[in-house]
Structure 1
Amino acid sequence: MKRVLITGANRGLGLELTRQYLERGDQVFAATRQPAEATDLQALQAQHGDQLVLVGLDITSSASLTAAYQTVADRTDRLDILINNAGILPGHPGSDIGADSDTQHLGQLRYEEAMQVLGTNAVGPLLVTQQFLPLLRAAHRARIVSLSSGLGSLELKASGTHYHYSASKAAMNMYMRTVAAEAGHYGIISVMIDPGWMRTAMGGEGASLPPADSARGIIRLTDQLHAEENGSFLTWQGKSVPW
């Protein structure tokens, strides 16, 4: 049985990853900002009991990170897998930035919005990883999976939209590739994964990929990671993504 921590576990891909890990018998620590309002997670907890632990976590708050770590450490002495899934896309659920900001063309950009997106999508995963590093080091060949995006690829970027989101994913890639270089000394493998354009509240109804398929691919890929893949940027199908 693996011990798995998933951030942003209350909806979309995070919820599907939680469900699939539970179904195969792993223990999941499902982190979300408001566990009391996470009705889907509560339903899963009623079904799976102590196999699922709900964890209150705001990844932009140092006090919340400390409290979340204590909640998890009280239940387990190790973490085999950390999935940095929590993130925001301006104009979509989970973001306090208005719907008029989702195009983000020149002339509409604001400093406060940039800091919010960068703080959540880039700095947040780094600090989550730092906070839970002792539990990851205690496991045998732990994995850190940070969900990125093709929009974070400098080589592939060709549109004049999503300034903050694209930059935040590129920054997260650099943070987590740096983590890979350091954490690799402890036998930890850290990768960035593009989960694809999924049919979720964030991805929209126009997306063709069901989150269940992406989650299944991510879990399979995580299980099969080798040391030489540490620091890689991959699709959910295991193909390399250009930096």
Structure 2
Amino acid sequence: MKRVLITGANRGLGLELTRQYLERGDTVFAACRQPASATDLHTLQGAHSGRLHLIALDVTDEASIAAARKAVRTVSAGLDILINNAGILPGAGPEDPAPQRLGQLTADNALQVLRVNAVGPLLVAQAFLDLLKAGDKGRIVSLSSGQGSITWKASGEPYHYSASKAALNMYMRGLAAEISQYGLVSVLVDPGWIRTGMGGNAAGLPPADSARGIIRLTDRLYMEENGSFVTWQNQPVPW
């Protein structure tokens, strides 16, 4: 049985990852900004009594991150898996900033996207590092995007989203270099173009398929893969 912390667990891919980990018998700490209103998580909690813990977490707020770490620590002395899933795609949902097009770019929107998609995951990983050290072969899986690949980048928009994922890649690559001494592994995963509120109805990949692939590759991670960037099907992605 694994102990798994998932950020942004109240919707989309985060919710599907939560569901699949619970279905196979793991303990999940489902983190989101407003757990009291996370209806789907409450439904899952009723069906998996004692194995789903709802955690309040705003990845842009250092006090919130510290409080979330304390909440998890009261339940468990260690974590085996951290999935940095929380993120925003400008204009993709009602809670996200306006679309980022040339001529409309602002510093405030750029910094907001960077804080959520890049800085936040690094601070979360930092806060939970001691619990991951105490876990069983701790793994940090951060959900990036093909949009964050400089090699693949062939369009302008979305400027801030693409830059934030490239920044996330660098942060987690650096983290991987440091945590290997503790036997921990950090990888970046492109989850694909998923049919969610963020991905939209035109996306062809069901969340269940992406989640299943992410869980499978997480289970099979080895130290040699530390710092890698792969797709949900465990295929290399160019930086």
Alignment TM-score > 0.5, same fold:
yes
Q: Where in structure 1 do 4 or more consecutive aligned residues deviate above 4 Å?
A: none
Q: Deviations over 1:124-182 (max 9, x none)?
A: 00000000000001113110000000000000000011000000000000000100000
CA distance in 2: counterparts of 1:127 and 1:211, whole angstroms:
26
| Structure 2 partner of 1:17 | 17
Which SS does the other structure have where 1:30 is aligned? strand
| Correspondence 1:127 to 2:115 | no
Task: Give, in whole Å, the separation in 2 of the partners of 1:94 and 1:48.
Answer: 30
1:114 match: 110
Residues 79 and 136, structure 2, Cα contact 8 Å, conserved in 1: no
Q: Distance in 1 between matches of 2:156 and 2:65?
A: 34
- The root-mean-square deviation of aligned C-alpha atoms, in Å, is 0.8
1:209 maps to a residue whose letter is: L
1:94 Cα deviation from its structure 2 partner:
6.2
2:151 is the counterpart of 1:169: no
1:121 maps to a residue whose letter is N
Q: Give runs of aligned pairs for residues 1-243 of structure 1, distance below 5 A.
A: 1-93=1-93, 95-98=95-98, 101=99, 104-243=100-239
Q: Any conservation in 2 of the 1:89–1:95 contact (CA below 8 Å)?
A: no
Q: 1:232 to 1:12 in 2, by over 3 A?
A: same
1:92 is displaced (CA, Å) by: 1.9
Shift, 1:49, TM fit: 1.1
Q: How many residues align?
A: 239
Contact 2:85 2:142 in 1 (8 A): yes
Q: Distance in 2 between matches of 1:236 and 1:29?
A: 22
Shift of residue 242 of structure 1?
0.3
The TM-score, its normalising length taken from structure 2, stands at 0.99
1:183-221 Cα distance to aligned partner (Å, 9 max, x none): 111000100000000000000000000000000000000
- The whole-number CA distance in structure 1 between the counterparts of 2:94 and 2:141 is 21
The separation in 2 between residues aligned to 1:51 and 1:96, in whole angstroms, is: 31
The 3-state SS of whatever aligns with 1:193 is: strand
CA distance, structure 2, for counterparts of residue 15 and residue 52 of structure 1: 12
Matched residue SS, 1:50: coil
Any stretches of 5+ residues in structure 1 without a counterpart?
A: none
User: So what's the TM-score if we normalise by structure 1?
Assistant: 0.97
Which secondary structure does the structure 2 equivalent of 1:64 belong to? Answer: helix
| Residues 122, 171 of structure 2: 8 Å contact kept | yes
